Amino acid sequence: MIPKELTYRDRLLPWHLIRHLPNCQRITVARFARRPDAESYLYALCRLMPEVSHTIVFVNVLCASETSIPIPMQLSIER
């Protein structure tokens, strides 16, 4: 991945919902400004696609640099 400087949009939407793909790849499905919005979207996705793995991550804009990696936060969603 090519390192890039955070844009204004990236700083406004720090909560990312990612889908896990084969071979340790991932894709960003959506970005949110607030965690409850991301959790609601994740809950809806879990009900629509229960076999697909999704994770919410917070991208820390204060510590983001070329070598920073988002730390996934596992949330327990009861079905």
Which carries the bigger pLDDT value, residue 4 or residue 8?
Answer: 8
Run of H or E including 72? strand 71-73
Compute the CA torsion angle 64, 69, 58, 54 (nearest 10 deg): 150
Residue 56, judged by CB atoms within 10 A of its CB (0-12, 13-18, 19+), counts as buried
What letter represents residue 61's amino acid? V
User: Residue 59 has which token pair?
Assistant: 């991208």
pTM here is 0.66
Q: What domain range includes position 34?
A: 8-61
Q: Report the domain count for the chain.
A: 1
Tell me, yes or no, whether 1 lies in a domain: no
Tell me, yes or no, whether 53 lies in a domain: yes
User: Residue 26 has which token pair?
Assistant: 């991932």
Tell me, yes or no, whether 54 lies in a domain: yes
Q: What is the pLDDT of residues 23-46, one digit of tens each?
A: 989 999 999 999 999 999 999 999
